[in-house]
Structure 1
Amino acid sequence: MAQVQFEAKVSKNTLGINERLRIEFTMNADGDNFVPPAFESSGFRVVGGPSQSVSQSWVNGKSSFNKSYIYILLPTQKGNLTIKQASIEINGQIYKTSPVKINVTNAVQLPKDPNEAPAVTADENIYLVADISKVNPYLNEPITVVYKLYFSYNIGISNWRELNKPKYNDFWSQNIDIKQLKAEDGMFKGERYRYVVLRKTVLYPQKSGRLEIEPLSLDIDCQVPTNRRNFWGQPLMVEDSKRVSAGSKIINVKPLPEAGKPEDFSGAVGQFNFKVNPSKTTLKNGESLELTVSVVGKGNLKLFSLPKPVLPSALEMYDPVHDENVSTPLTGMTGRITDKYTIIPQYKGNYQIKPIKFTYFDLASGRYKTLSSQPITINVMDGPSVASGEKTNANEVAKNKVEVAKAFAFNKQKTTLKSMEKEDFLGSGLFYSLVFLPFLAIPLLIVGKRRKEASDKDVVGNKIKKSNALAKKYLGDAKKHLGQKEPFYIALEKALHNFLKAKLNIETSDMSKEKITEILTSRNAQPETIADFIALTENCEFARYAPSSETAILQDYDKAVSIISALEKQIK
């Protein structure tokens, strides 16, 4: 058998930054599992391929075989670049090509064929635009950003890649899923164009003043017509590329007016209805009721806290169960948020729950509005009365104190007893223990030293232990800051990241939403648990800028404990 050959061949070793490079990976035996080099990290972008060719011939009774993978590359930077190794498996053995050095110079003048020259250019026929619904909103007023790619009718778009994603600092943001990209007709710069909606986002500014939305940038592959025609008179197309950017956008956010702002205003902005409903108003001794406080409407529903009821001391109230049924279309949040309180009466009688007030800023009128519930009377039909209950408790406490004082009045409360006989130290059990202890410690020291050496060599294991310890530490820090919103969510986010580092052995820089989902799925984690983990990490970022109740913070902490426990069991 002939010796296996696997090599990389290039069309030229020196080229201008505006020229294209053809690279061909050839082999003289059939192979599988071809892995190309990482072209982007080498300073090149793939604009064509991979294409594959296979040939086999017989000459004078001898067979020859050739197989190739062909790529067309475009340099992205100047200098001495190196295309790294490609690999393939042939007959169970891995073969690799040698690195190829390419010198990329300044742009060169390309020979022009009038028939091959593009009839139109991509530079003047492709535009990326960010349509913003409002550039001077109020604080917490929703605005929308829609990114549209406009292109003329004689240009074809084959592919695009995101170079820079938009960043929404000081905004609460929600991306709207686009199930299918569809080209539509529209007007741009007074002319007819086709356009595709690439991204839709709803934003709620969390800070007043001048805020910047960083741009979305794309790298686009396209086809443009030339002056040449085919048999039917249609223009022949050539490949071209262009980088487009929507540009940064400035949003001037107006603060909410101070004139007429109530003291109990909690940051609600929009149009709402407010309701307070008890499950029942007549109870027997030992029964409980549920008090539901809810806000329904359109506005920043996830970014403010509901008011708390004030109850008489005879009614015991537990922490609420918070529920959200909120959707976020392109027009902004809409739906309902609810707090349900469990209330248990302690004594017989009639008790009144005072009216609860809810204040919001109405965008339609530009004024603050206050909604108030009706007073609620709770009738407890039986059980101990307030006066008798307090009197009975006081008498029992006083009686117990007197009886305890009389029973132990003659006893000394603190005593110190000493033995009258003393044991000699020489020959005692302690003496022999101290004598033989050094000899017994020698094997332990040897075993401990070996374990320490093995542990020091286990770099990955030590890194995992350190990340696991940090996760427990930060989760403990999060628990300490349950009453403080921002420190709590910072510590909680660090705990979640360090848990992933401990269990999956990945770095923080690799913790994108897609990467986490891919790795957890490969480790047999349940899709529901993965979705809960992603949602909780995103909520840590959003919650820093949004008002949060103590109940919501406690729920997020309990959710983190539950998710970490579930992943501990599921990950393999």
Structure 2
Amino acid sequence: MRFLEHTILSSMLLLLIPFALRAQEPFNIHVSASEIFRNDVLQVEYTIDNGQAISHFEAPVFRNWAIRSGPMVTKSHTIVNGQSSEKTSYMYSLAPEKTGTLEIPSTTVVNGGKKLSCKAVQIKILNKDNPSPVHSPPPPSSQLQSLFGEEVKDDVFAQAPVLRRGDNPAAVIRNNCFIRVNSSKKRIYVGEPVMVTYRLYTALPSNPISGEPPYFNGCSVSEIPFEQAFETEKIDGKTFRVATIRKVQLIPLEAGTLSLGRQTIQNEVTFRIADEQYRRQPYKLMLKNAPASIEVSALPTPAPALFSGVVGSFTITARAEKTSVPAQENNSLVISVKGKGNLERIIDAPKVSWPAGLEHYDANSREDINKEVFPFEGYRTFEIPFIGSKQGNANINPIEFCYFDPEQQTYQTIRSESIPLTFTKAAKYDYRNDPAFREDRTTRQYIWIVPALALLVTSILYINSRQEKQKKEKAAIAAAATPVVVAKTDFNAAVELLVHVEDQRTFFNKCKTILHDAMAEAAHSPATCSREQLLKMISETETGDSDQLTEQCREFFTICDHALYTPTDEAPPKEQVLVTLQQLIYRLC
């Protein structure tokens, strides 16, 4: 029968573990095609499946590829046949710079503290054009036309230009229409954002009907929104209408010369033919900007140990959600890094020096980045759940964050304030007076309780039959001494009340508390002992299966912690959790 008990409990834990501990899949590269034409654009995704605490994605350096856009970071969550999965992707759009076989390079990322690498992918580039090329669509002609489509009263642009005999229409357009590219800086550091703006100048009534955006290599590319409007500017006494075509933020990934791509626009100008009053003749000319570049310097060496590639100007704050809380109750450390620069490099939480007696879990993060300004500014906040194991005071030392300031040309290490904490005495848990158990609920909301109760009833009947048998065996060998009667907590009743708890966070917190108190009672120790202390006491009991029971209790706590601190759309089924908890309590008490 003891073997049967172990088998039942192990089976229930095995059913729960997949919901909390997902199998870690390799770090992979996915491409939109393995063979493309030389005028196609390739979509590339570096993906991490079911990642935990992803950090330090090493941006790949693409050789013989021009970066059309990227990296764009996305996260997705899917449920297939009841199984939940998550995917984090770093996406690029690339255009080949030569034909033949080109490589999508491997790179590395840190996932849950472990460094992963992916395998490079080979792409075949055909030496011919695709009649219907695959690429991100260029700005629609209607958008380009709107740059100069408004009615203009200025006489310079009011009438179509005259084309006289012997004039070259292409030369006339080229002398009066051109594209310029400007950058916010000419010299920058690796990781330092720079704004690049492409503008169309025209001294003639123009109709830009199509265009191809510039390509970049060795940098990340992010679009900056801008108003579709024009202004006037005089150059060498000639008045031009000027409109912004594209505005991007580039972040270089390596030192050297960063070439700025060529923006092209097919510009149409309608001429009046001299000596032919009513004749109008349109001419088209492909415009493109002159070559331009930015010099990128390497960051100074050696870099501080805390430096993770963040460049810009930042501040850091840290606080505890509650500065005074009973021992064994949940709390959170909230760290926020705010500023301007390459915020996408702030991926993992700054290192925390945790004092003894504090148990912490994986950080959750959120961000708010304003990508309508240059440089991008905003914050990334990390929330790290933790608990104090015993009554007393603790102090979280100042948390440090290191970045490179390109204006000061030095590394800066900033620090938060220290955080004093007070852990009061852990209160004895009163299950029946918990409001979570006493709310009025409708029957319709809890149809799932029927199968859960069926499982509980079956488990309780089995446990009661075992308890009756043990009572008879103990009665046969009763000692002459008067036994000491100790009132015990009715943990089975507490488990039954959990059936009515709807809130997931409350449910798993109560499960942990019930098992913690059951372990304390089984070890004849106060509930103020830490989880690890109680697990050690259980493992040191003289029963033959104490080690196995200890590991099963530890696994149950892990399952609850993952449900609490790594939430997904699908948590372990409550009925399975309750039956497992019932089995553990039976073996403990």
The structure with the largest alpha-carbon Rg is 1
TM-score relative to the length of structure 2? 0.45
TM-score relative to the length of structure 1? 0.46
